Amino acid sequence: MAGAGGRSWRDLLAGRARKRRSPFGSTAELQGAALQLLDQHQNLAELLLEVGDSAKPCVQDGAEHRGVSPESFIVSVLQEQASKLGVPTATLAAKNAIAKMEQICQDPASPSRVPLLNSDQRKRLTCLLQTVKDLLANNMFCRSLFCQDMWKMKGPLVLEAVWHLHSCDIVGLAELLDRSPAGPAAVEWLCSSLCGLCEQAGDTSCGDTSCGDMELAQRILSDFAIVFVQHGFEQPSELGGKVESQKVAYICRAVLQRMLAWVLDAVAKEKQEDVSMVQAVRFWLNVFHVPLYASVAHPDSLRQFFRHTLTEVLTYNPVLKVSDAIQMQKEWSFTRTSPLLTALYRKLLVAFSVKESMCQLQQVLETHEVNWQHVLSCVSTLVVCQAEAGQLFKDLLSHLLLKAFGNYDMENMITAFLIARQAALEGPAVFMPYSEWFKASFGNAGGHHGSSKKSLVFLLEFLSELVPFEAAPYLKVHIMFPPCVPGKHRALLLEYITLARTRLADLQVAIEDMGLYEDLSAPEEAVQPQAQALRDVEKALQIFESSRKIPTSVIEASIFRRPYYTSWFLPALLRPRVLPKTPDGRMAFIDSLKRADKIPSNLYSTYLQACHAMKEKVLQDASKAEPSHPKEPLEQLEAELAELRTLVVQQAQWEEVAAQLALVSDRLRGALGDSSEDNEDNEAAPCSSRVRVAVPAPGLSPCPQRVVDLLLTSFCQTLLAASSFNPPDRQGPCLSLLVRMMCGHRNLLPALLARLCQLLYHQGPSLGAAHILGLAAFVIHLSECRALIPAVEADFGPSQAVPGKALSVSEYWSSLLVCRTEESFVFCLRFCTAAAAYLMCKFSSCSREEFCALVPPGLIKKLQFLVPRLSSEARAVLCEEAQSALSWSSLSCPSLSYRRASLCLWRQAAFQELLKEKAFQLSFREWLLLELEVCPDKDILSAAERQDFHHWAIYQRYLPAPSAAGGCDGDLEKACGVILNAILDSSHRLELGGCARSRTSLSPEILCRLQELVLELRCRPKLLPGCSAAQRALVLELLQGRLAGTEPEQGSALGQQLWRQQELLLHRRVLLGLPASTLVTLCWRGNRAVLDCDSFFCFVNSELKNVSSRGYALSFDITAHFFRGLLSASLDCEDAAEGVSEALAACQTKCPVVLLSAALWWPRLEPALCCQWKRLFGAPLAGELARLRGWHSSGTRFLCSGAAFPASGPPWLSAAFLHGALLQHSPRGTEALHRLGTGAEQLLVALLFFSLLDLISARIAPKEGVDFQTSLEWSLQILQCLQGRGTAWPLLFHSAEGAPGMFHVLHRAASQRHTRLLPLAFYSLTPSFQQELLQQEPTFLSVALQMYIQLLQLFVEGQVLPQSDQDHTEHDPLELISAARQFLLGAIPQCPARSLGNIQPLLSTCEELDPELAATLRHFCRPAVDVELEEELELF
């Protein structure tokens, strides 16, 4: 009640007390006067409001000083009034409180009741409630009557007023509900009020009201939600069967039910609802915030509430049929599902473990009729937001299939198919694609359908029933990967396939129009052939650019799938464009197809004309050029990545990050160019084909590169932002999930791996610290997701000797970290240190086994190479004292020294423990291969530092180390073998960019280390007389063993042949780099030490002679090396001259090619040998050496002075020296041939053989200085001389096995290639073949026919027949074959019968290669055979 001027009763009372003294003598008189005044002007309701704030009285003197309290007035007034009315004081107080409360809640400005009061109402209500609390404390307020009268108010209750009563412990919500006259009415009031509260809060979030109202609404909702859960889901033991408790429970459950229906109805109409309604529903979802009930609700009640709610959601309004679900489930993926429904699921699922969620889902499916949209959306949410859900769904699917086939139950069957397809919609990062699941379930005889015919019929009937509702991609999966069916039931499967094809035809999708690289696990509607053809073109271009060959799938399509190839693929490939000045990959691909006749000429001409027209149009109006790649999808992706970064930095809940990642994945799909009708999971489907990366030039189109750069940039920014707050081990799984999501997009992988190649291999030294840290962490997570990434085929260009094996992603990025120059060493050290530090910090909580499985071996091995090489401190033995760990945050410090950082990492106990694992130990061979890649002139170490490092690594680290740790067990021979093999292998590996060495050159410094070890091997006690043991020719044994077991498995026969030839050239370089004495060993025969050259002779005969370009002689360098070694080794013999002579004498039978080599190179060889002999012994030359010098002198005198040529020694060796002299003598005269004695026929035959091999050498090695025409003329002169003497020279062309005497020696000395090309030399001599030769030499025809057959076989086998460099038309292979054939056809009729009789073994082979010639031979052979038979008959 207010006084004059609006002053309150209390103010007036206090003021008057200060102004004058009270005229009343006592307190009783004062109370009486006050009661009389109030009785005349009283308003109890207003009085309750006025005396509200009794806790803090304003009267500090006067009345209070006299002991007058404000409560005493209200109590006195209430008592007086109650006594007059004859009612209890508590009843009167309740009645007046209700009246005042109703008055307060009536807002004149708002005729309709709203859930929240305005500020004036709230202030007045607070005063009233404070007075009521004081009355309750004095037991002068009737709570039950107050509750009953509240329901009798004229207007509905105001929610906030009820909440104030509840929160002030005046009347709880449960008590109020218990006093409600009708439960449904209470439910209706609560639901309408709560909806209004949510709508008002939704308007607040949109900025219409204050934040204070938002907080108040949140408190009201939270408190009431607790009441609903506590009483609506009270445990049976707590109920006690009380009726009032059951009533309250009914109301609470009904309210929650009605509100859930309100939410789900809004979800169904979300697209039509305005923003405020969506915000209102989202506000209600706070009811499902689990921490809200942490300490106030019984755990079982809470679980029952969430379980009940999840069941209600899954079974709400089940109007969709299974057929609808089959057709519409693609719209229910995680990213397409209503965000409200997704948010609801995520909040509900927090209350359960993953297994409990799965059990609840399974129970609902088995016992209720479900809303398929809600069920499948729940499946998507589970599989995206719960990492363990993928495996649990696989188990659930197996269980459903088992039940389905056990009872032939269609319901379990359709449930399994729907769940499998729904989970597959979310990508392989979380669940296997549908095609894989279908193949795994039904693609083998061990599937559930394979147990009986009934099971098979059940499956096929089920699939047939799905056909009318199926999308085309699923039908394609069933057709392309049909169930495994026994042959006798094949007809059943064919019926289904026919039905499925008919359905595809109805959908206007032809199986023939399926793309070359189409993903059959597509859950969307069929991709249009135009879109699929564009994808096929891009994939074919990737393969072509990496292999430079037309993909096999394209060639097959041009033959077997002609309609798709001509109608879709070629138009997509030949889309008109402005052709670049420099031909790009697409132009090269089109040109290759055109040359292979895979593009019709008219279509190609039309394409060129269209390109020309487009170029003119662009020139006319350049401003109209349309951007090829819109920016909008990229901006959307960037926005979602920024939101993800915010969540990571804020350490949001795991499921929130997973949900945001699903949105990022959806935006990424759009940025990569996939339309909404395309497969949700197309790019992420499994692919058995490898990802090819052209390392020297990893090409990237602009759009994929921008996407990849955005992803990598976002990853680095997210990592650095998160690291500024927490170390990697406390950042959660967000970054792992981000990389896993990237790996799930299959069409992103080629661009991602190519970009990594650009950054690490080409631009590594120029990267900044932030880039290095981000990329180092990225590759660690990339290795973590290696199961999702197919094998990588890294093409290092034409310098790659043999096609590389398929690499895992860890091996791939490790191979990009090359250490060759000073800059690359610094970059690799920084990168590997950062990667290892991140790895050890991020996964520090993993078990030992889990951690080792995550560690990329290449990273640890690279550090074992880098750290000791660049930090000499790391070579020392580590002390046992504990080392401080390298912190991840310190790596981003600008002043950080990476050498110190790497050394700190190296000294950590955890890192050293890791080095003890065998999988991570850098072996001696691996160390050598890394060291051999270094460019010495650009190395970060000086030559002296490098030598010190080599000595430490070999003699201190690897030589004494056990083999289990990658060492050599102290075995020098083993160390030599490892070094030798590493040197040779490295020469077959990549050329080293700008500091490339020739493939036949060797690393001089590592070769020096090998020399040291080989010399150390020879420093052993000398063998005693009579000892049976002999020195081993270790190097030769190693080389021969390598040739026996290291041929490349891949490649053509020609490729293997070239590899072997290169390998042998390297062997020769190795032998030349080692001490010459290693070619010759010492052994004891009786009591005499002799020289043993057998190992070298064997190596020459089997291998080394085959890389000689001269055919019958080794190169000068290896010849001189052997003779130097022979003379040096003879020092250990008692009689050096005798030892050398014996060794050279053995050459005549064991290895004649050594002596032939000496004959060829003697003018250059003699001075060095004589000098060495004189230096070592100071005595006359050994006997055999003197004989060699004598043969050379005789040949020179014979040609220069006309002296007779002595016939001493083997004719082939004399001929070799004479041939060598003839090569030095010009011109070669025929008179020298005639001056040879009558017994020189064998010498002339050998001379002819050497000349013919020179003729072949002139073809295959024209740069060796041998002229083809000169050799041919000289060979013809020798042949004429032989024919004049009547010598049987055709035996020279017999095989080595069938050749007699000297001919066998000559063939043994010739290289395999020269021997195979002898037919070329034979038919080069046809102009000199005399007519009499056919009659006089009975073997000539068989030899000529054999040579012709071998010539044809060379051509058929694809062997390159050498041609002249000057004139490619001269002696063309086809012309040579034609000339040989004509010669035979002309010679056959002139041959005697006995000559024809010798060709019978060759007729069958000839008939296969040249039937016409074989027919001619048979025609002329038949009479001869008949005559012989008649003669034989006459003998009897």
Task: Please compute the mean of the pLDDT values over residues 1092-1100 and round it to a whole number.
Answer: 92
- Residue 1085: strand pairing partners: 1088
The pLDDT score that the predictor gives to residue 43 is 59
Closest to 870 (Cα-Cα) out of 836, 918, 819:
819
Per residue in 1310-1326, pLDDT (tens digit) is 988 888 888 988 888 88
How far apart, in whole angstroms, are the C-alpha atoms of residue 239 and residue 235? 7
Q: Round to whole Å and give the CA distance between 178 and 185.
A: 12
**Token pair for residue 574?**
């030949």
For residue 1338, give both structure tokens. Answer: 């009975």
**Looking at the predicted structure, is the pLDDT value of residue 72 above 70?**
no
Least confident among 37-51, 1310-1324, 1366-1380: 37-51
3-state secondary structure of 113: coil
Rounded distance, CA 707 to CA 710, Å? 5
Who's near 286: CB < 8 A, 6+ residues apart?
218, 221, 222, 225, 292
> What mean pLDDT is predicted for residues 1106-1127?
91
Integer Cα distance of 863 and 866 in angstroms: 5
The per-residue pLDDT for 701 is 76
> Which of these, 905, 695, 880, 691, lies nearest to 793 by C-alpha position?
691
pLDDT of residue 155: 76
> Which is nearest to 908 in space by CA: 819, 827, 839?
839
pLDDT band for 1241, please (50, 70, 90 cuts).
confident
Model confidence at 1423, in pLDDT bands (50, 70, 90)?
Answer: low
pLDDT above 80 (res 42): no
Which residues 6+ apart lie within 8 Å of 515 measured at CB?
527, 529, 532, 533, 535, 536, 564
∠ CA 459-461-464, rounded to 5°: 110
- Distance (Å, rounded) from C-alpha 736 to C-alpha 783? 10
Other CB atoms within 10 A of residue 909 CB: 13
pLDDT in tens, 188-198: 999 999 999 99
The more confidently predicted of residues 1330 and 912 is 912
In what helix (H) or strand (E) does residue 693 lie, and over which residues does it extend?
strand 691-694
Mean pLDDT, residues 1147-1152 taken together: 92
Report the pLDDT averaged over residues 965-976.
91
pLDDT exceeds 60 at position 472? yes
CA distance 142 to 140: 7
| pLDDT for position 772 | 92
- Average pLDDT estimate for 705-712: 91
Rounded distance, CA 529 to CA 513, Å? 7
Tokens read off for 943: 């030559």
Quick check: 570 and 602 in contact, CB under 8 A?
no
Residue 210 in this model has a pLDDT that exceeds 60: yes
Residue 472 to residue 500: CA distance in whole angstroms: 9
pTM score? 0.72
Tokens representing 383 are 């599989």
Tell me the sheet residues that pair with 691: 792
Task: Please determine, for residue 99, whether its predicted confidence score (pLDDT) is greater than 80.
Answer: yes
Looking at every residue in the chain, the average pLDDT score rounds to 81
Peptide bond into 1227 cis (omega under 30): yes
The residue-averaged pLDDT of 151-165 equals 85
Question: What is the structure's pLDDT at 650?
Answer: 75
Q: How confident is the model at residue 84 (pLDDT cuts 50, 70, 90)?
A: confident
- Predicted pLDDT of residue 889: 66
| Cα 873 from Cα 1328, distance rounded (Å) | 78
How far apart CA 265 and CA 677 sit, in angstroms, is 28
Instruction: Check residues 5 and 699 and name the one with the higher pLDDT.
Output: 699
For range 881-909, the mean pLDDT = 73
What pLDDT is attached to residue 609? 84
* Residue labelled with tokens 């049909």: 482
The mean per-residue pLDDT over the stretch 371-398 comes to 91
Helix (H, G, I), strand (E, B) or coil at 2: strand
pLDDT at 682: 44
DSSP state of 527: P
- Asked which of 62-66, 246-250, 800-804, 856-860 is least confident by mean pLDDT, the reply is 62-66
Neighbours of 65 (CB within 10 A): 10
pLDDT at 892: 64
